[in-house]
Amino acid sequence: MPFHGRAFGIQLEADFKLPGVLNGNGREPGVPTHLKVVSREALDRGWHAENAARTFDADGPDGRPVITIDYDPDAGYRVWARNHGECRISPNGSEILCAPPHAKAGRWRLLIGQALPLASALRGFEVLHASAVAIDGRAAGFVGASGAGKTSLALQLVLEGAQLLADDVLALEVGDGEVLAHAGVRTANVPHDQAAAMSPDELGRLGTIVGDSDKLHVKFETSDRPLPLAAIYFLRRETGIGRPSIERIDPPDPALLLGSTYVFHVPTRERLVNQLDVCSQIAQTVGMFGVRFDPAHGVRAVSVAVRDHLNPS
Amino acid sequence: MHEGNGRVTDEVAQRVLDGRATLPGHMVYRSFVAETVILNLNSGTYHGTSAVGGVMLERLAECEKVRDAARNLAEHFDRPVDEIERDIVDFCLSLQERGLIVLDSSPAR
């Protein structure tokens, strides 16, 4: 019996369970992206390495590759990550074949962290490297370099009453002259130090713990429908600054927006034009703000500043 | 094309004004309020121009001749036509130099 769900704006249908992702009723509108678990040999079928170009790779501290992404216009994308298996995504994002690792911990991280966002981009969404929350029916996104505090800030806002929309990847589209934000997968990766600082009650309010690896994996409830993007905050750590400072980025900076993409390794014309459309719409209709804060003062100071900024009394 | 002091010669300016400027099919542009971003879909590279440049691109796409676009822009910005003509010629030549625009300076038929 197929499992259904929705993440990053796309309908999903799979022949396997995926906690925090596949729990829909199958009656959601839209053509689904099909997910299948296959063997490595099955991934090789129809893939001709000589036709593919490497669009991204990164090495670990030991100098060995940790992730590679290859692209063949006819066969699609092939994503490999050390210890996390491999996925193939069809050229139009309608199918994802996964060959996950045998280990249970982090088994689906490559699928959730790379393949689904890539499929979302191929299906017409622009995908930002951002966390996001919903407050009073509107979405607020948080962009920053890895370690800038995107997840920590979003989680703190959830503890203060917001609803988590996205942990690390935010899918956007333009609709009716607005930019609409779609929820990601319904699991967040909570840094252990942040989880340790929470009371059991607070941790419970975040959601249900469904796994523990290098981070705590927490399943949470989120919005089933896209929400208008009200503001996008660009986070920057600055030692020595007193209270967090929030300033409007005026005029909007195209480089900041275009550089916030999560899928820079998807160079298709359709995706590049879509990215330009979404970022142009953000520049014209969504508030862009720079947030400078000293991490030594804790994330709560930033969350208070953001909440007050979003809903000035 | 340019005089020794960098100014465009009258002959070149007239040729540009009497011709047509088109953005190749692999170029797209969008407004970012104070800037216009032009994307080369073939190379994946981005180029920036001002918001005024974005308006110029729109008029150039709508008008048969660069001269017509200049007249239209002069009305839009409430500026003298000859001033706008100088600006649009410089703009077109700059974009042409960067491979972002095609200038068809064939004599009018």
Distance between CA A91 and CA A101 in Å, rounded? 24
pLDDT at B55: 95
| Average per-residue pLDDT for chain A | 92
pLDDT tens-place string over residues B44-74: 999 999 999 999 999 999 999 999 999 999 9
Q: Tell the residue number behind the tokens 């009723």, with chain if given.
A: A25
Residue B1 has pLDDT above 60, yes or no: no
Chain-chain contact of A252 with B44 (C-beta, under 8 angstroms): no
Which residues pair with residue A59 across a beta bridge? Answer: A65
Chain-chain contact of A276 with B41 (C-beta, under 8 angstroms): no
Residue A22 has pLDDT above 80, yes or no: no
- Percent of chain A at pLDDT above 70? 97
Q: How confident is the model at residue B2 (pLDDT cuts 50, 70, 90)?
A: low
pTM as predicted: 0.91
pLDDT tens-place string over residues A231-268: 999 999 999 999 999 999 999 999 999 999 999 889 89
Q: Which residue has the higher pLDDT, B2 or A129?
A: A129
- Percent of chain A at pLDDT above 90? 71
Cα distances (angstroms) measured from residue A1 to each of A111, A116, A165, B14, B34: 20, 21, 28, 71, 53
Tokens, residue A216: 């705590």
Residues of chain B contacting A283 with CB distance shorter than 8 Å: 31-33
pLDDT tens-place string over residues A42-91: 999 989 999 999 999 999 999 999 999 999 999 999 999 999 999 999 99
Q: Check if the interface score ipTM surpasses 0.90.
A: no
> By mean pLDDT, which of A134-138, A267-271, B6-10 is the weakest?
B6-10
Tokens, residue A51: 């036709």
If we measure between CA atoms, which residue out of A104, A71, A60 comes closest to residue A85?
A: A104
Q: Which residue has the higher pLDDT, A128 or A31?
A: A128
Closest residue in A to B31 (Cα–Cα): A280
Residue A24 has pLDDT above 70, yes or no: no
Residue from the list A257, A258, A269 with its beta carbon closest to the beta carbon of B41:
A269
Measured between CA atoms, how close is B31 to chain A, in angstroms?
6
Q: Please, what is the end-to-end C-alpha distance for chain A in angstroms?
A: 50
Backbone phi and psi for residue A273, each to the nearest 5 degrees, phi listed first:
-65, -40
Enumerate the H helices of chain A as residue ranges: 40-44, 109-110, 116-122, 150-159, 192-196, 200-206, 254-258, 269-285, 299-310
Peptide bond into A73 cis (omega under 30): no
